[in-house]
A and B are shown apart, each in its own frame.
Chain A
Amino acid sequence: MKTALILCALANSAFAAAPVLPRITPEELTKLQHGTPMIRLEKPAPSQAAVSRPAGQSIIKQSVVLNDGKNWTLIPKGAVIFLPQAMKNRVNANPVGTLLPWNDFLIQNRAWITTNDVSFDQAAGTEALPPERVAYWAKQEKIVIATHRQGPISIRIAPETQTITMR
């Protein structure tokens, strides 16, 4: 409709006012491309400009995939803090089916996933997790995911916590 109105408006007086320009030639464009406004900035020596840009990044490859057979989601590597033997086939599974955001996946799979909210210091491994909580994990047949403010978080197990877990 909009296009039709535009065409109608143009039909009688098309391009009578607007100058019609010739198409730019490759030579003219090459001239335009010559030079850069960045020339006025300081250019680093080849040995300088130390920046880090890791190649081949992939959030899927940098994550653990959870799959319930129908849906899948991903969480940071290190966020699974307890994995019962019976649930191993649901972790590091193939990303097939419908991808759900973490919270939606959790709501649908409360039967076999539980979360353990941790502080930043606990995630960084500078503070141990409460022993009674760690002991409780083994009493249930659920995968335990570390979370912080409802988002999954990787966790470095503090030495004391590791001892408790291995007991």
Chain B
Amino acid sequence: MKFPGLLFAALSSHAFAGAETYVNFIRQTQQGTGVVWDMPVARSGMGPSAMALESNGSLFQLWTIEQNQAKDYLLDQKLVSAYLPKADIKITTLDPYTLVTRTRIDQPFSVEIDVADLLTGIGLPDAATKVLLQQHVQSYAEGQISLDRATVAATAPHYSAYVSENGKTVLKFAASSLKAADPTQARGEEHFIIHALSDGSITQTQIASTHVQVWPVASGEILGITEGQEIRFDIPKIQLNLNDLYPRSDTYLMLYEGTAVNGAQGVIAKAFPVDRDQTVSKILEVTDLDTKFTKNGTYTVALISETVFGTELLCPPITFSVDRTITINAMQTDFTDDSAALITP
């Protein structure tokens, strides 16, 4: 039986696949006979499988190989059969970035599962009546920005559950489940995989999968000025320590008159926009803050980051005062006396 509807639109959907240094392969493995076929592929696009599907299923794997190190990555895989349940899975986050689904550790996201061809009836085997949804969570090592799907799938799942109804199931997560000593600094990926239940006749059971990249909450420090400080002459040099700024974010050092941040009209003292594929940490110096003060008074500086998730403080604001009034204590001298006249030329 042919399966003309199987399309490989995923080729261009991953950051790996678009780069010049990667070559893509789609490999179909027949679960019953073990026959392996490499489907000719372009760098991006889609096409139907030309191979017959066996009753035990066909495993489709999308691989990419990095040229320089000859390192292979399994980008996606799916087991398809006329007699297996079918499933699609999609993650939706608040971040509209399209190259990879990404979010922040403290932000909500939803997982939408669409299952078809499950059977209902008495005496049917489990494999015909339910599929298994597994959630895998794995942290990034230092400097890592992606994980090998096959490696993640091989680890013990964080949570497993059966889906036993055809149609859509939406799971709304309040935040990522990734853990760290300080959970706000957790980074890594969550993978959701749907398996057909194995009856022993198939070597792989994954029928759908997706993943979301999870980044930490940014933090920061304002150094060089302290809460309650009184400034009488030059404004001290200020250093900003910015940690884990979200891949698409705009970070500002804001200056406000008074003590309030909310509802106040602020002035940007320093701006740092970020548009990358990973978080950014940076140390910045602010040397021209002096030019922002027009009068004496109380001021507040705040380190603020604006992302798709909202506008947030990276650390507590600092309030200080500026008083540059010069007081001169002098004694008036009268030069009209006689001694003054003596030095007149």
Contacts and interface: CB of A to CB of B under 8 A. Distances in A.
Interface of A: 3, 6-7, 10-11, 13-16, 18-26, 28-30, 32-33, 35-38, 41-44, 48-60, 62, 74-79, 95-96, 98-103, 120, 123-125, 148-156
A131 B132 CA distance: 48
Interface in B158-197: 159-164, 169, 171-177, 179, 182-184, 195, 197
Contacts of B133: 38, 41
B36 A23 contact: no
A53 B206 contact: yes
B70 A50 contact: no
Interface stretch (B86-94, B226-234, B312-320): B312-320
Nearest to A17: B263
Contacts of A123: 33, 35, 37
Interface of B: 23-25, 27, 30, 33-41, 50-52, 61, 63, 65, 67, 70, 72, 74, 105-106, 126, 130, 132-135, 150-151, 153-154, 159-164, 169, 171-177, 179, 182-184, 195, 197-198, 202-206, 217-219, 250, 252, 254, 261-268, 271, 273, 275, 302, 304, 306, 310-315
Contact of B70 (A49, A96, A103, A151): A96
A14 B252 contact: yes
Contacts of A50: 197-198
B69 to A, nearest CB: 10
Contact of B313 (A6, A22, A35): A22
Contact of B36 (A19, A37, A56, A76): A76
A33 to B, nearest CB: 5
A102 B39 CA distance: 10
Contacts of A148: 37, 50-51
B52 A120 contact: yes
Given A15-B254, A15-B304, A20-B313, A151 B203 contact: no
Contact of B171 (A22, A37, A55, A59): A37
Given A21-B310, A42-B162, A102 B182 contact: no
Given A29-B105, A33-B177, A14 B267 contact: yes
B36 A57 contact: no
B94 to A, nearest CB: 14
Nearest to B79: A52
Contacts of A125: 33
A19 B183 contact: no
Nearest to B113: A41
10 A-B pairs closest in CB distance: A41-B161, A55-B154, A76-B36, A149-B50, A32-B175, A51-B195, A95-B70, A37-B171, A124-B33, A154-B36
A103 to B, nearest CB: 6
Contacts of A30: 183
Contacts of B40: 101-103, 149-151
A68 to B, nearest CB: 16
Given A14-B254, A21-B312, A99-B70, A33 B176 contact: yes
Contact of A41 (B33, B51, B163): B163
A149 to B, nearest CB: 4
13 contacts: A6-B273, A14-B266, A20-B261, A29-B183, A29-B184, A51-B134, A52-B198, A75-B38, A101-B40, A153-B35, A154-B34, A154-B35, A155-B35
